[in-house]
Amino acid sequence: MTVLVDTSVLGRLANRVDPANPVASNAIAVLHRRGEVLNICPQNLVEFRNFSTRPIVANGLGLSAAQAESLSATFETAFPLLPEGPDIFAVWKSIAVAFSVVGKQVHDALLVAVCHVNGIQQLLTFNVAHFSRFTSFGPGLVVIDPRRI
């Protein structure tokens, strides 16, 4: 099966002092051993750049643009990059309307749309509560918590 890796996992992988780093690394390793295909999408890399270049005092990693780009390149090498074609906006809009999506959840809804358009039914995330309400959309979505692998 195919899995979309959420930015929350990428952030933990990038931050070696984060207590959840070993959990994220283990989840990725276990899913690879199971034969799962782990993917990312452009939205993940946009969110990662935002998070990783924010100051630490603002809940970021405080990295330079060059450091963030280097880590993003590592992620692009490790995980196939899914396309975000024109069909995604229409699906995102239907999710946003159906679930009355507002605020930061618009980004989560976009990742659900990417999953839907690309036929992906599993999402690996530390933010299980953010995605739980979207599990009934379309053919369904299984939200995987790395702490439960």
List pLDDT tens digits, range 38-96. Answer: 999 999 999 999 999 999 999 999 999 999 999 999 999 999 999 888 999 999 999 99
User: Which amino acid, residue 25?
Assistant: S
Q: Residue 116: its pLDDT value, please?
A: 95
Alpha carbon distance 129, 133 (integer Å): 8
Token readout for 32 is 């690879």
Counting every residue written for the chain, the total comes to 149
Distance of alpha carbon 137 from alpha carbon 99, whole angstroms: 9
Residue pair 144/21 in contact by the 8 Å Cβ criterion = no
Asked whether 12 and 20 are in contact (CB, 8 A), the reply is yes
Report residue 95 as tokens: 């999710």
Q: Is 117 left (phi over 0), alpha (psi -120 to 50) or beta?
A: alpha
Confirm if 68 and 44 have CB atoms less than 8 A apart: no
pLDDT score, position 139: 83
pLDDT digit string (tens) for 111-140?
999 999 999 999 999 999 999 999 998 888
- pTM, entire model: 0.95
